[in-house]
């Protein structure tokens, strides 16, 4: 999604994610910046959507751990990600809506622990799409992923 500030992008994303979450449809939501992902997370939290947000430990500790206080129970730091799918499944606790930055989405750790098997990428929502260079983030999409 793209558009100027205040046009309802975050509301549209969170409303769609709430609906997909209620249907049990796996959904990944991503953006270029941690702040954009955090804003979506706060909106999902207010709408009582079952989600998890994966952030890098560097961003969390070095600068901004205070911005995650409200959504701490939904937060997973990258250094806490288990190396096995069963461990990841336990950590996610059944959440089918996953938020993360594009950098984390393309991080090999998610592929290594089979995150895309635990929560298949049936839907991928990209906020701030106009701000990215697609060649910087070459994500291997599973064959089951339909890009629209």
Quick one: which H or E segment has residue 54? strand 51-55
Q: In this predicted structure, what is the pLDDT of residue 19?
A: 93
Give the burial class of 5: count Cβ atoms within 10 A of its Cβ; 0-12 exposed, 13-18 middle, 19 or more buried: exposed
pTM of this structure: 0.83
Dist. CA 81–CA 16, nearest whole Å: 26
pLDDT tens for each residue of the chain, 148 residues long: 667 888 888 899 999 999 998 898 999 999 988 888 888 988 999 888 999 999 877 765 544 555 556 677 888 888 888 888 889 899 988 899 999 998 888 888 888 888 888 999 889 998 877 777 766 655 555 555 555 5
Domain residue limits at 33? 9-128
Instruction: Confirm whether 77 is domain-assigned.
Output: yes
Instruction: Confirm whether 70 is domain-assigned.
Output: yes
Instruction: Confirm whether 147 is domain-assigned.
Output: no
Instruction: Confirm whether 88 is domain-assigned.
Output: yes
Signed CA dihedral, 18, 19, 23, 28: sign only: negative
Instruction: Confirm whether 4 is domain-assigned.
Output: no
Q: In this predicted structure, what is the pLDDT of residue 132?
A: 74
CATH number of residue 33's parent domain: 3.40.50
Into how many domains does the chain fold? Answer: 1
Please list the residues that pair with 74 across neighbouring strands. Answer: none
């Amino acid at each position: 999604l793209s558009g100027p500030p205040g046009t309802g992008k975050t509301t549209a994303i969170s409303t769609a994610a709430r609906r997909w979450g209620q249907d049990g449809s796996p959904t990944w939501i991503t953006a270029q910046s941690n702040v954009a992902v955090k804003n979506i997370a706060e909106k999902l939290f207010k709408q009582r959507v079952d989600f998890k947000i994966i952030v890098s430990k560097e961003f969390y500790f070095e600068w901004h751990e205070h911005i995650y206080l409200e959504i701490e129970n939904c937060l997973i730091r990258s250094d806490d990600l288990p190396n096995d799918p069963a461990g990841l499944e336990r950590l996610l606790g059944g959440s089918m809506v996953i938020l993360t930055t594009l950098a984390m989405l393309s991080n090999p750790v998610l592929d290594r622990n089979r995150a895309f098997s635990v929560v298949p990428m049936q839907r991928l929502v990209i906020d701030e799409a106009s701000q990215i260079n697609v060649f910087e983030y070459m994500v291997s999409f599973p064959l089951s992923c339909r890009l629209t």
